[in-house]
Chain A
């Protein structure tokens, strides 16, 4: 079983550039979550989807962040324009609600 697949694993970009992070959840899972992890703030929930529908996006920091889930096997998190304070590890996770969450390996974003 492939697990949750995220790409890219590492991204280094300059301030102002658009960043797109991608996620393929575990097949059959019906919930997908995007988290951001930093030393200062820990693991923060940005948005989660249930059956491809966004349920709660209250954790999305501001309008520069957007997320989509066009189908059950794919989701994107986009930051436009990126800023240095967006530097973090972004995790995607999926679950068969109400089961445990399974995480991808994360995308480490550095914005210079």
Chain B
């Protein structure tokens, strides 16, 4: 059974802090790892990582994958209150199956 484990499960920081969220997977036929942000409604797509060691960046968010260890981190620098959300990691297999982790609840205080 495919397994995705995220840590920490929750995190409380102040504006301006930098946070690192972790994701590790146990899966056969790994294809890609994806990160999503979920606020009040549905998850929205952030990054898709397929190759090892190549950083994907979008503004203050960045992510990188270690394909050998099936481990990824999501970094958020200079956090803002608007970054408060659940961050979900998911693994995509070559069969097209996407399995999510439990998520990390990030709370950014002003």
Q: For the complex formed, measure the closest distance between the CB of B107 and the CB atoms of chain A, giving whole angstroms.
A: 16
| Secondary structure type dominating chain A contacts | strand
Q: For the complex formed, measure the closest distance between the CB of B9 and the CB atoms of chain A, giving whole angstroms.
A: 10
Cβ-defined contact, A104 with B96, below 8 A: no
Q: Please report the C-alpha to C-alpha distance between residue A106 and residue B41 in the assembled complex, in whole angstroms.
A: 7
Q: Is A102 an interface residue (CB 8 A)?
A: yes
Q: What are the interface flags for A82-109 relative to B under an 8 Å C-beta threshold, 1 for contact and 0 otherwise?
A: 0000000001010101111111111000
- Residue in B31, B43, B44, B102 whose CB lies within 8 Å of A98: B31
Please name the residue on chain B nearest to A42 by beta carbon: B102
A91 contacts which chain B residues (CB < 8 A)?
Answer: 42-43
Question: How extensive is the interface on chain B, given as a class?
Answer: 20 to 34
B45 contacts which chain A residues (CB < 8 A)?
Answer: 100-102
Q: For the complex formed, measure the closest distance between the CB of A108 and the CB atoms of chain B, giving whole angstroms.
A: 10
Cβ-defined contact, A31 with B48, below 8 A: no
Cβ-defined contact, B96 with A98, below 8 A: yes
Q: Is A15 an interface residue (CB 8 A)?
A: no
A97 contacts which chain B residues (CB < 8 A)?
Answer: 96
Q: What are the interface flags for B74-98 relative to A under an 8 Å C-beta threshold, 1 for contact and 0 otherwise?
A: 0000000000000010101001111
Which B residues have a C-beta under 8 Å from some C-beta of A? 31-32, 34, 36, 41-45, 48, 88, 90, 92, 95-103
26 contacts between A and B (CB under 8 A): A33-B98, A42-B100, A42-B101, A42-B102, A43-B100, A44-B100, A45-B97, A45-B98, A45-B99, A48-B96, A48-B97, A48-B98, A55-B96, A56-B95, A93-B98, A97-B96, A98-B96, A99-B48, A100-B34, A100-B45, A101-B43, A101-B45, A101-B90, A104-B42, A105-B42, A106-B42
